[in-house]
Amino acid sequence: MRFALLSVLLLGIACSSDKPPTQDGPDAGRGDAGTGTEDAGSGDAGSGDAGCAPLAPGPGTPLLTGLNTPRRLAVDGADLYIVESHSLNPQQPQPGPGRLLRLPRVGGDVASVATGFRAPDAIAVVSDSLYVLDLDGLWRVDKATGAKDERPLDATLNNVTIGGTEILPARLGDRDVLVVATSHRRLVRVDASGGNRQELYAGTGFTQVRGARVVGQDVWFLVAAGERPGLYSVPLDGSAPATLRDGNITAGTSLEVTPTHFLVTEGGGGDGRVLRLPREGGAVEVVATGLQGPSFPVELHGTLYFKDVSTGGTDFLRRVSTCTSGALEPVGPEGVGPGGLLVDGDTLLYTSQESGTGGFVGRVP
């Protein structure tokens, strides 16, 4: 059973299944995308502008199948981590059926690291911990044992079923901190061990903070549906109010930073767009239009890749060259979008966000 999981406008209510996932790939990708850099933030997207050689199109390589609504991804040197939501219904019970899974990058069996999540979305991995944003807050999981804290680090964060959330590990002075885009009204910074919570941005009404990146000692993020939507930045230490940088982006959903550009997705329902904004200022480039719900733009070897809302087929993962003028085209794999997307070395890792037992994790090439 397939659903159009409209992360921008609609909530897809997925059918649950107890069937365990099966493993179909020999490994989980190459390289180490990590969880962030000093300049390009973190989350489940990576970027790079070098070269002009797009990945060869094709069906992709399934790594893990039989999943129920897999969403976001994260990697470290040893493993690939996946959140399996089971449902996007915001009325899920507590504890819920959602899981955090681990797949060894060198091959091996998939393992369930932690359970009981209600509708997990954003995920981040650091040296000793995993962080998951769920319907009832931000959770920390011990990476070695899989033990989940008894209480969330922050219980005010919610609305994760509409997507656009982020967890960004960063360093502030002598402290490890997390910046969280809540997909609701707030951009929040909290210590990685809990405490010292600070709201870096607080909107009103139906404001949505969706997509964020840490760039040096500033956080760049998108605000939609509020009184003053647009692309914003705010100091990581919260020493000054957030500044509106571009007010023309009124329905932003995802943000990525390359060495030269901001990549932005916005809108949906046939009016979605992908934009490139020079970091040093200049004209905005409209890369793609007419989309159902674009998200997770990444740039690899001169080609921009992104996910789109889709009920199936090859349109859920698309690309367009940023080196030469070319048409927007599907990459090749078939799946249900949006799901997650990240760059891992010279490889793309993605999820097909289908419910029941049809969801999977794949790799291109």
Query: Which string of DSSP letters, residue by residue, matches 64-130?
Result: EEEESSEEEEEE-SSEEEEEE-S---TT--SS-SEEEEEEETTS---EEEEEEESS---EEE-SSEE
pLDDT in tens, 148-181: 999 999 987 767 888 899 999 999 999 999 999 9
Q: What is the pLDDT confidence band of residue 51, given thresholds at 50, 70 and 90?
A: low
| Mean of all residue pLDDT scores within the chain | 86
Regarding predicted confidence, which is higher, 171 or 4?
A: 171
Distance CA 28, CA 183 (A): 29
Tell me, yes or no, if the pTM score tops 0.85: yes
Q: In 10 A of CB 58, how many CB atoms?
A: 11
**Residues pairing with 303 in the sheet:** 300, 321
- Match 């914003």 to its residue by tokens: 232
Residue 228 in tokens: 């003053």
Instruction: Decide if pLDDT at 43 tops 80.
Output: no
Supply the pLDDT for residue 56: 85
Q: In 10 A of CB 284, how many CB atoms?
A: 16
**Residues pairing with 361 in the sheet:** 64, 351
Supply the pLDDT for residue 225: 87
Instruction: Decide if pLDDT at 342 tops 50.
Output: yes
**Greatest alpha-carbon span in the chain:** 53
Regarding predicted confidence, which is higher, 156 or 95?
A: 95
Under a CB-based contact definition with an 8 Å cutoff, are residues 201 and 242 in contact? yes
Alpha-carbon distances of 276 from 171, 256, 353, rounded to whole Å: 27, 10, 26
Distance CA 267, CA 123 (A): 23
Alpha-carbon distances of 64 from 283, 297, 337, rounded to whole Å: 41, 23, 16
Distance CA 213, CA 163 (A): 16
Instruction: Decide if pLDDT at 6 tops 70.
Output: no
Supply the pLDDT for residue 107: 84
Task: Please state whether 239 falls in left (phi above 0), alpha (psi between -120 and 50) or beta.
Answer: alpha
Average pLDDT, stretch 73-102? 94
Q: In 10 A of CB 341, how many CB atoms?
A: 27
Selection from 247, 241, 188 nearest residue 223 by Cα = 247
Instruction: Decide if pLDDT at 40 tops 60.
Output: no
Instruction: Decide if pLDDT at 33 tops 60.
Output: no
Regarding predicted confidence, which is higher, 24 or 188?
A: 188
pLDDT in tens, 252-304: 999 999 999 999 999 999 999 999 999 999 999 999 999 999 999 999 999 99
Instruction: Decide if pLDDT at 10 tops 90.
Output: no
Q: Return the minimum-mean-pLDDT range out of 14-28, 182-196, 306-320.
A: 14-28
pLDDT in tens, 103-158: 999 888 999 999 999 999 999 999 999 999 999 899 999 999 999 999 999 987 76
**Distance, first Cα to last Cα, the chain:** 27
pLDDT in tens, 192-205: 999 999 999 999 98
Q: What is the pLDDT confidence band of residue 323, given thresholds at 50, 70 and 90?
A: confident
Measure CA 112 to chain center. 20
Selection from 297, 272, 354 nearest residue 88 by Cα = 354
